[in-house]
Structures are given as structure tokens and as C-alpha cells.
Amino acid sequence: MNITLKVWRQKNAQDKGGFKTYPVANVSPDMSFLEMFDVLNEQLLAKGEDPVHFDHDCREGICGMCSMYINGKPHGPKDAVTTCQLHMRSFKDGDSITVEPWRAKAFPVVKDLVTDRSAFDRIIQSGGYISINTGGVPDANEIPIPKKIADQAMDAATCIGCGACVAACKNASAMLFVSAKVSQLAMLPQGQVERKTRAERMVAQMDEEGFGACTNTGACSAECPKEISLENIARLNREFYGAKLKSENV
């Protein structure tokens, strides 16, 4: 396959940035999208040019690092896959592919396709934890939890924090991410100690980071590589308003 890449290049957060076009020849359909970028960077290095900077780690769809906005969609044209799981057979010979970083005030560009997503870390630090000691795995497994509740908590916990929900949202809202992290703990007995304050603190931190408001368009869930349900946003709203009714921070 021969393709044409239109890649966003930006030296740093202060640089204006812009698209640059690169032809890439002899691309195997079995390559992942990131492997194709490896080939491009090898070509650029051979020419003495600066390679395209992009985030990656596990390349197994687990870490959430491979955040690329491909042809107008977070992680590309396939549903329920991350960029590293996207293969070049999803495109055609001669295709032109536009690649951008996440576009959100709370995710400033570091360089090229790399964005600073530490805002998510600060949201987790504000309340996405439990303070009780459950002991080892056998001890924790002795706590009875109905299967339906356990399944819902596990579904929420599959969120990898990639930020695709923010990139897909016209408001750059982080509600799906925050709701998943609140839900996975709020439904379990281990998460009850901080339950009254968790949602309040995490939503406050989300607002402080500059994420937009949720207007229920559903784009976040539709583009989520782990298919996190919008039901979690409804649960977050219940948790938040319930906490506000009992809160001293009014």
C-alpha cells in the first residue's frame, strides 16, 4: 500500500503548529497504525529530519497512551479499538490520512501528537481511591458482592483513561472518564468510606482543569475504545447531587 499522511507538527505548546504531508510507500496491510508511524519516523531519521512525536506504551490496547485523532475520529475509523489496535487494512491503497492530537484546553499539546493528559491524574488524586485496607486478594474476595453489581463495576473499571471521550465531545467534557472512575468504586463495599465526598471532589477537580460541560450528545461513549456506557454519567450525577445535599462545601 502507498498512503499519504497529513500529520500535525508542533514544536511545543507555544508554537502555532500546522500540518505537514508525508508520502509513505510499501505499507503492509498487517501493520498496526503505530508500526506505520515507526516506518515513517525511520524514513525521517534517515533524512536527518525530526521524527513525529507520539505517545505509546503497551501497544496492546491497555495503557491508553496512543491518543491520535485520525480522519476526524479519536483512535480512527474502527469501533472499540485503540490506535495501536488499528491496522492498515482498515484503509485503502492511495488513501490520504489526516492525523491530529487531542484538541482540548485541558490537554495542551506538548509536541506534535503528544498531549499533556496529567489533568486525568489530578482528577484521580482528588478522590479516585479507597482508604481502607482489604488485605490480600483472598481476603478481598471474601467480601460478598452480587454478580450484577460486580459486572457493572468491572465494566466501568475497563476505562483506560485515554481521553478519547474528551476528544470526541464538542465541549471537551471529561464526564465519561470521571463517571467511570466514580462508578467503579461507588458500587463496591470497599468504596463506601469516601463515597459521600468522592464525586464532589472529582467533579470539582474536573471543572478546575478546564474541561467542558456535558450536554448528553453521546459522542463520548460512541467513540470510547472500551465502550464505557452513558449509564455511568447518570450514576455520577446521582452521586454528585446526593453528596451536595449532605455536603458542607455548598
Q: What is the pLDDT of residues 46-56, one digit of tens each?
A: 999 999 999 99
Q: Which long-range contacts (CB under 8 A, 24 or more apart) does 131-140 make?
A: 131/193, 131/194, 132/190, 132/193, 134/190, 140/190
Confidence of residue 233 (pLDDT cuts 50, 70, 90): very high
- 39: which residues sit within 8 A by CB, 6+ positions away? 24, 27, 31
Query: E strands of the chain, at which residues?
Result: 3-9, 18-24, 69-70, 73-74, 96-100, 109-111, 114-115
Average pLDDT, the chain: 94
Average pLDDT (159-185) is 98
Q: Does residue 249 surpass a pLDDT of 60?
A: no
Pick the range with the lowest mean pLDDT from 95-99, 195-199, 207-211, 218-222.
195-199
The full set of domain ranges for the chain reads 3-111, 117-246
Please indicate whether the domains covering 3-111 and 117-246 agree at the CATH topology level. Answer: no
Task: Find out if CATH 3.50.50.100 is the number for domain 3-111.
Answer: no
Which pLDDT value is given to residue 187?
93
Average pLDDT (29-36) is 97
| CATH fold of the domain at 117-246 | Fumarate Reductase Iron-sulfur Protein; Chain B, domain 2 (1.10.1060)
Tell me the pLDDT tens digit for each residue of 119-167: 999 999 999 998 877 777 676 677 788 999 999 999 999 999 999 999 9
Which pLDDT value is given to residue 140?
65
Share of the chain above pLDDT 90, in %: 88
Which pLDDT value is given to residue 135?
72
- 61: which residues sit within 8 A by CB, 6+ positions away? 81, 82, 84, 85, 160, 225
CA 140 to chain centroid, in Å, comes to 29
Query: What is the reported pTM?
Result: 0.93
